[in-house]
Structures are given as structure tokens and as C-alpha cells.
Amino acid sequence: MKKIRSLIVLSTISILLLIGGCATVPDVNERESVFSPEPSSAQSIGISEPEELKAEGLRLEDSGSEVDSHGVEPSADGLFKKSDQQSDDMERLD
């Protein structure tokens, strides 16, 4: 009986957690729908990306660097992620 009771408790907690997880998704969508214009309409009328989102994009890409957070110098750490060496660059010799 004890085992069955604990199973019921566990499954109830899991269902509650699942519902809680799903409930956060609309928040994100809602935020996106408020801040980001439709890409096609924004491009067609020449509206630039909102400053807040631009700043957030930079923070996400360069989050590892102290210098970046002060906005003094762009970090090459972010660039490492963005740049793949061209297939036909000359390799260096040691």
C-alpha cells in the first residue's frame, strides 16, 4: 500500500512539473511577439532590429569575456565561434 501511495505521489508531482514547464513556453512566445517585428515586414519597410535585442545578442555571443561586457574591445572568443577557416586557406608551417 505504501509503495502504491508513493507512486501516486510521484506521478502527481511529475504531472505538475510537466504542466509547469509547458506553462513557461507561452511567456517566451509572448515576449518575442512583443519585441520582434515579423522579419519579412521589418525588412520590407527597412526597420532595423530593436536595440534591446541587438544588445542581448551580443551578450549571448560574447558572454565569456570581461572586456566585452564593458564594451571596450570586441572579443575574438566570440569570433572563434563565428569563423570557420576557408577550405582553401594556406596552412601555416611550424
Partner 1 sequence: MTTVFNKIHRLKQQPGWTWDHFLTEIDKCSTAGVDEKTLYSHYREPHKKPNGHLEKLINQLHDDCFPNPFPEDLNRLMRLYNHLFNCKKHMAKEKDIQDLEFFLQHQSQREDDSLRVSRLHWLLGNIGFDRIPLYRDNGMREQLALCKQQAINHYQKSVSAIESHNQQSAQTAVGASHLYKARHNILACYLNAVPQASRAKDADIIDYLKASNYIAMSRQTLDAEPFQWTIARNGLRFSSLLENEADVKYFFKALVLISQRFLSLDYEPLNHGAIGDGDDFQWAIENVLTSDYLASVKAATEKKGKGKCA
Q: Which is nearer to partner 1, 29 or 86 (CB)?
A: 86
Give the footprint of partner 1 on this chain (CB under 8 A): 64-67, 74-77, 79-80, 82-94
In the complex, the smallest distance separating the C-beta of residue 84 from partner 1, rounded to whole angstroms, is 8
CB of 17 to partner 1, least distance (A): 31
Give the residue with the Cβ less far from partner 1, 45 or 90: 90
- Residue closest to 61 by CA, chosen among 52, 74, 48, 49: 74
